[in-house]
Structure 1
């Protein structure tokens, strides 16, 4: 009896084993052929030394920006970058390559944007094709100059809250402060007010807000997912601790946006019934999107609305916080430029009790310093596309469809073939005379072409308001014992914070 049972079960188990072995072998053959195809397609481009299994993953995860700069100098125009043995990205950092690449409408790279999807949803950052064009058209009024003008007072209010915190910390003495966390909460405060007209008090009570914590954790996990090639498989990532945390984050963001949208619709309905008895001082992002939805209800759903709101906050939060923080750090290292900015701002704003839209355009030297800081430390270090058709670059080199091309904005901005002494902070690079002599695709902190950053004017206004008020109230100097170390996640971050000495200025 036992022998008969063994024979009965042995054959199915044997067949199952052979089937699984065959599937595994087919998958291995498929991966091998993929690697050979990539090696063949990229053979014309020399690459840095690579580990047989990890590729350049260690370099990317360790965040060695100096190593990237070495490659930019050593390999003209571009180089292949391997993430594991079977996936290669093609890094470009030459302005002619960038212009050719950005002038097309290739879809976003699935290797990045599928990892962002749980938090962002299908918004402008992740959409492609006609759906992206429709969303871009509907969202554009939210970034018109008339709308941005109304946000200046909101930004001023939030910056002043942060300055009040700094005054309590510093008193009248030079005091060391880790400023990035304060600035990050301040930019989040601005975005929540401009998006939802919400007074969250997040600058004061950030530790108790699950939404704020979710925002801080999202990009770190997304970066880990992207550059750990073993986690490119959805099932492996889903059951990892990081995958579980990302699911929690996406639920927090979704529930928050759903509640705000639901409450706003109810509020608008109540106001309508009360004959507009209450009216806000400015239209926020949600107002403008709800208006667009009312006119396009068949093609702009609540899910679309929610995705664009999350995109606005997530895409605008850490990027602007980084931009302000790096600018403060660069001005601390270069006190002569800090003083020139402060003198210019004082001549325009006086004591800074108020800031108007027209005054922002008068800050010419401060704007040059902002641009130079964005060159040295672009908050978005790279953008990627998956080629939908072959591409030929101006030097005659070509790539086939299917290759993922990454424009390294950091590499472009530190390319010694474009920028003389690229590590030196020199705002005069952005004088009108010098800018006119340079390739138009040499400086791309907000990308370029059909898919340039829709929020770039919002970001520049926020940078100007923040730096003007900060420099009017504080002198900043570096902490030589705690230099800034960049951590290149999806958005450029400080590895150990941004530590500066702050000294309150007398009026």
Structure 2
């Protein structure tokens, strides 16, 4: 408590001189005198209040503003496509992942694609790009179907036992983790059938990172690792790292027995057809990475698992929530899906089906606008960055590109809080900036797995609506800002089997 008091006192003491310095550097931007930086220092802004705060900023400042996070950090927050565009299009050679937001994740996520910069990032990107080629993604659709089948079989058992109210985040996180482990390592973890310490640890880490970001005294490692939260963070990291290391060790053993280029990966259910996985692509790449140790070094699979399963689970969960809140859209999606699958012997979404679900895709995109899984991106630049209105962001300044704010900007999206899939009708989308809708970021450092995520979301949503009706539980849903957009207390929906004669077990 004494150390805490001293740190806050030092922080308060330095505020005036620091604020004057930032005002000199960022005189071009609107300043938020009514939201003092000390609110962040004293933890008076809670994660569940941040969406309301961002909405207030967007309504007041329209495109951008400066924001103090203690006296040591002044950020520029941006929430307009015209301001996002030059920053997102900046060359990777001058774009840096800042230490304030991303550095705090390094003990967890390491030095792979998500957190690296410069030539290291370019090397990782070149190495990983083949793993997301459309020819590879086609194989993964089989896995998406199978993992969704397993989840639905479990749902039917729960409903039969009288439990129809489910937390979508809990259920879907396990399903997307199941898919990712199969696509990444050809590893069948059976995580959907048993409790997952890994899922609990991921949630713990994402919550603790946000808490640390908003509490400047804990930015000092020597203090944080001695705190209760720091000890919880270490423990959760140990769980996550142990989980991933164990999987990689098992994969190494499998490859040693079968040969690096002849591994028997997860096969399509009911066949012996091999599904190429993430490890295969790396092993067969021209880089010639023949050891699992090298794969860990140049393409950290742990980052891939995290960014792939948690963000996609958030996206799917919010889509189902929005469709539960708007039954007419849910029924229209169901009609589209039923028409697509009519006359087929099995309920399986195929690769070619993904482009034949236009309205369902519009509903997914509108949910990603209203509830983006990743709410913001932060960047620093090694040179001054001009933005519209004759303004300049000085080099080294942290630029917080608010995906949530951009998606809720009424200058771009009329009635932004209304769920309206018709916004994404091709005719209505004409003329809209491609930087107005950025759930997967944009530019050179966009999300490498966005096609993977959209394919999995389409498969999971289509099969879920084919087999179940979802409805609101009566819960007062509050958005919760962690690293991933969640719901405070979980996202509870009521489910009811729609097609009892359909397959209740994986096909």
Note closer, same or farther for the CA distance 1:278–1:402 as it changes in structure 2 (3 Å cut). Answer: closer
Tell me, in whole angstroms, the C-alpha distance in 1 between the residues paired with 2:408 and 2:132: 30
Residue 214 of structure 1: aligned partner = 201
Asked if 2 retains the 8 angstrom alpha-carbon contact of 1:349 and 1:359, the reply is no
Distance (whole Å) between structure 2 residues aligned to residue 414 and residue 268 of structure 1? 48
Equivalents in 2 of 1:227, 1:67: separation in Å?
Answer: 14
Shift of 1:113: 1.2
Question: Is 1:283 equivalent to 2:268 in the alignment?
Answer: no
CA distance in 1 between counterparts of 2:103 and 2:160 reads: 47
Partner residue, 2:119: 130
Would the alpha carbon gap of residues 28 and 178 (structure 1) be closer, same or farther in structure 2, given more than 3 Å must change? closer
Match for 1:35 among 12, 15, 19?
Answer: 19
Q: Distance in 2 between matches of 1:180 and 1:422?
A: 24
RMSD: 2.6
Q: Deviation above 4 Å: which 4+ runs of structure 1?
A: 25-33, 275-280
Residues 293 and 210 (structure 1), Cα distance of their counterparts in 2 relative to 1, 3 Å cut: farther
Relative to its length, the structure with more helix (as a share) is: 1
State the partner residue of 2:31: 47
Moved more, 483-492 or 362-371: 483-492
**Structure 1 alignment gaps of length 5 or more:** 1-24
> Which of 156, 170, 174 does residue 181 from structure 1 map onto?
170
Q: Which of 429, 435, 438 is the aligned partner of 1:441? A: 435
Aligned residue among 319, 326, 344 for 2:311: 319
Per-residue deviation, residues 30-61 of structure 1 (Å, max 9, x unmatched): 87644321122223322331236335853364
Q: How does the TM-score come out when normalised to structure 2?
A: 0.88
1:346 to 338, 341, 345: 338
Shift in alpha-carbon separation, 1:101–1:284, aligned structure 2, 3 A: same
Q: 2:142 maps to which residue?
A: 153
Q: Which residue of 2 aligns with 1:333?
A: 325
**Secondary structure at the residue paired with 2:154?**
helix
Q: Match of 1:103? A: 89
In structure 2, the partner of 1:243 is 230
Give the superposition deviation at 1:81.
1.6
Provide the TM-score with structure 1 as the length reference: 0.88
137, 159, 167: which one aligns with 1:170: 159
- CA positional deviation for 1:304: 1.5
Match of 1:8 in 2: none
The counterpart of 1:120, out of the listed 95, 109, 113, is 109
Equivalent position of 2:75 in the other structure: 89
Q: Distance in 2 between matches of 1:458 and 1:401?
A: 34
Match of 2:102, SS state, is helix
Tell me the CA shift for residue 412 of structure 1. Answer: 0.2
Structure 1 residue 184, shift from structure 2 partner: 1.2
Cα distance between partner residues in 2 of 1:289 and 1:219: 28
Q: What SS does structure 1 have at the residue aligned with 2:59? A: helix
Computing the radius of gyration from Cα coordinates, the structure with the larger value is: 1
Q: What is aligned with 1:66? A: 52
Residue 454 of structure 2 aligns with which residue?
460
The match for 1:360 is 354
